[in-house]
Structure 1
Amino acid sequence: MDVLIAEDDLTTQVILQTLVTAWGYRPVVTSDGREAWEVLQQPDAPKLLLLDWEMPGFSGLELCKKLAEQADENPPYIILLTSHAETDRIVEGLASGAHDFIGKPFDKAELQARLSVGRRMLEMQRKLIDAQQQLAYEATHDALTHLLNRRAVLKALQALVSKSMSEHSCMSVALVDIDHFKRINDSYGHPMGDEVLIRVAETMQTCLSADDSLGRFGGEEFLVAIDSDPDGAARLMEELRTKIAEIPFCLADQTVNVTVSAGIASLSGDDSLRLDDLLAAADRALYQAKADGRNQVVLAETDLPLL
């Protein structure tokens, strides 16, 4: 773990650098508070800090205050080095954002122990952040395909609809369904069906731009929110349909090709309609693609109802 040592006294610098290196840390040494602040603005800045209370540039106390003002979900752990042992000074340092302090001259064993506490706190903080991020991911993503789940992709679709209306631009939504998926499950088993879902999802992702959103809408059905007009959406869905049809699936020692059908509905930025109407139009187009023989893309034929 990196340790930032901000200390203007050269002798103390050398002592601290030697000690923390012997204890298994990687020292990053600065001679004043302004230099320390510049180091702390880097993406890979140390999280365990030893800051001298009094030094040129910014004092350790000023650095604490500046760091406390930053919105950081993974803030550093700060130990102030100070010759001020008065209670009111210690309280001031802790109130400014420091987590701990150690007096000068310091005891080596005490310093090592306080650094160990800081390291443990940072490790627990990192684990908590990772757990929160994992929970947030699981709340918005499908466990099998790792695409957005139904709720999250509908939220992305609503955001694209709002953008289209505010910018008076076109957008489209496509509902994509794997053809004869029940037959795949019945003939080859659900594990093979899951493999088909995963491969189809991966292939679809390769076709989309950063402005598009893809999610598993339910079962073998996917929703694509497309930042494009009907023609652009149709070209995209045709590319997607063709790529999926070319995937060789090895199911029960057989090479099987899987196809999809898609229905597209589009919105002009000058329109005003409910999201349900847009989805209903795409669903009708998907139904038509199925009725016409599957493995095709159909655009919604009628204008969408305006509010």
Structure 2
Amino acid sequence: MLLRSALQRWGYEVVLAENGAQALDILAEPDAPSMAILDWVMPHLTGPEVCRKIRETHREPYTYILLLTSKNTKNETVEGLDAGADDYIVKPFDEHELRVRLRAGKRIIDLQMHLMQAREELRERANKDLLTMLPNRSAIAAALEQEIARCHRDRRSVGVILLDIDHFKSINDNYGHFAGDAVLRETACRLRGNMRPYDQVGRYGGEEFLVVLPNCDLEQATMQAERMRSVLHSTGMMVEGAELQVSASFGVTVSDGLGRNPDLFVRVADEALYQAKASGRNCVRSRRLQESALA
């Protein structure tokens, strides 16, 4: 087949389809070719029909489609492009012309991939705290909401830990904001390194972090908070040439299947955090929703 041999000679990997329906199936696969050359006249589905069905799915990454046709009237050209083809070439085709058009198509595909990558990077940046590289407030709150909904369906509880670095303002005042940033980064690193693979932690505020513990009762969540407290305080943090003894106060609660409002459980954890600070800081306090004035 002349077309196949030419494409292989130019370095393309070729996948053949015997008819329009088979071409549609191939192009609908997750690892579908990024470029397609479709004959206008094919059994089962015509080239324009395949184009139209592919475009209806709005699939990504984009498939560049070139129609191969013996028709060369303006109306038929418009029909093919309206169906979703990116370009067309008239049979019998000139190899040089086809190669040039495929190169142009590859540039479009490459540009589309760059745009997709840039969009994904923007999405990640929108959900990430750039200082600690943890999920930001909105992202960790969304994660908590999802876990509460899931565990509510499964009749399990979700542990919620809200922690606040003790005397953080003094660190900024005495050592500078670069030191404060370093403490936040190191705190994030230690928290992340002492969690189960499916637990999540995010930066919730200035020096506050929120931890989400799926399938965790109050006792287990409190024990996890105590481990985190020990990890933060047991070893000093080297910051700006000085070793700082950093501690944090922890408030713990669990969903217990009593509600689905994530803000409610964060506020209960915040009440427990307030108790921890009132008890001298560097400690863990837990509180159930039933014990809260918010109940």
- The TM-score range, normalised by the shorter chain, is 0.7 to 0.9
Q: What residue is the counterpart of 2:267 in the other structure?
A: 280
User: SS of 1:85's equivalent?
Assistant: coil
Instruction: Give the distance between the partners of 1:256 and 1:37, measured in 2 at CA.
Output: 63
Q: Does 1:198 align with 2:185?
A: yes
Aligned mate of 1:291, from 252, 272, 278: 278
| Closer/same/farther in 2, CA of residues 15 and 134 from structure 1, 3 Å limit | closer
**1:166 deviation in Å?**
4.1
Aligned mate of 1:30, from 4, 12, 16: 16
CA RMSD of aligned residues (A): 2.9
Question: Does structure 2 conserve the Cα–Cα contact (< 8 Å) formed by 1:64 and 1:96?
Answer: yes
Q: What residue is the counterpart of 2:251 in the other structure?
A: 263
| Closer/same/farther in 2, CA of residues 207 and 36 from structure 1, 3 Å limit | farther
Instruction: Give the distance between the partners of 1:28 and 1:242, measured in 2 at CA.
Output: 59
Offset from partner CA, 1:247-304 (integer Å, 9 cap, x none): 55222333334322210122221x2475444223211211222232332221116624
Q: Does 1:170 align with 2:157?
A: yes
**1:64 deviation in Å?**
2.5
Question: Does structure 2 conserve the Cα–Cα contact (< 8 Å) formed by 1:51 and 1:81?
Answer: yes
Q: What residue is the counterpart of 2:38 in the other structure?
A: 51
Number of residue pairs the alignment of both structures matches: 292
Instruction: Give the distance between the partners of 1:61 and 1:202, measured in 2 at CA.
Output: 54
- Which residue type is aligned with residue 245 of structure 1? H
Correspondences of 1:60-99 after superposition (within 5 Å)? 60-99=47-86
| Closer/same/farther in 2, CA of residues 93 and 210 from structure 1, 3 Å limit | farther
Q: What residue is the counterpart of 2:119 in the other structure?
A: 132
Aligned mate of 1:183, from 153, 159, 170: 170
| Closer/same/farther in 2, CA of residues 247 and 40 from structure 1, 3 Å limit | farther
Correspondences of 1:208-219 after superposition (within 5 Å)? 208-209=195-196, 211-219=198-206
Correspondences of 1:110-129 after superposition (within 5 Å)? 110-129=97-116
User: SS of 1:15's equivalent?
Assistant: helix
Instruction: Give the distance between the partners of 2:193 and 2:57, measured in 1 at CA.
Output: 37
Question: Does structure 2 conserve the Cα–Cα contact (< 8 Å) formed by 1:17 and 1:29?
Answer: no
**1:211 deviation in Å?**
4.7
Unpaired runs of 5+ residues, structure 1, are 1-9
Aligned mate of 1:13, from 4, 8, 20: 4
| Closer/same/farther in 2, CA of residues 52 and 168 from structure 1, 3 Å limit | same
Instruction: Give the distance between the partners of 2:90 and 2:105, measured in 1 at CA.
Output: 16
Q: Does 1:154 align with 2:141?
A: yes
TM-score (norm: length of structure 2): 0.83
- Which residue type is aligned with residue 263 of structure 1? G
Question: Does structure 2 conserve the Cα–Cα contact (< 8 Å) formed by 1:32 and 1:58?
Answer: no
Question: Does structure 2 conserve the Cα–Cα contact (< 8 Å) formed by 1:277 and 1:305?
Answer: no
Identity %: 38
Instruction: Give the distance between the partners of 2:142 and 2:15, measured in 1 at CA.
Output: 47
- Which residue type is aligned with residue 62 of structure 2? P
Offset from partner CA, 1:168-194 (integer Å, 9 cap, x none): 332232111122322322333222221
- Which residue type is aligned with residue 4 of structure 2? Q
Instruction: Give the distance between the partners of 1:247 and 1:118, measured in 2 at CA.
Output: 57
Instruction: Give the distance between the partners of 1:80 and 1:121, measured in 2 at CA.
Output: 16
Instruction: Give the distance between the partners of 1:154 and 1:84, measured in 2 at CA.
Output: 57
Instruction: Give the distance between the partners of 1:64 and 1:175, measured in 2 at CA.
Output: 52
Instruction: Give the distance between the partners of 2:264 and 2:293, measured in 1 at CA.
Output: 7
Q: What residue is the counterpart of 2:240 in the other structure?
A: 252
Question: Does structure 2 conserve the Cα–Cα contact (< 8 Å) formed by 1:273 and 1:305?
Answer: no
Offset from partner CA, 1:88-111 (integer Å, 9 cap, x none): 443343233221111112223432
| Closer/same/farther in 2, CA of residues 248 and 49 from structure 1, 3 Å limit | farther
Question: Does structure 1 conserve the Cα–Cα contact (< 8 Å) formed by 2:182 and 2:239?
Answer: no
Instruction: Give the distance between the partners of 2:247 and 2:32, measured in 1 at CA.
Output: 50
Question: Does structure 1 conserve the Cα–Cα contact (< 8 Å) formed by 2:163 and 2:273?
Answer: yes
Q: Does 1:235 align with 2:226?
A: no
Instruction: Give the distance between the partners of 2:152 and 2:125, measured in 1 at CA.
Output: 30
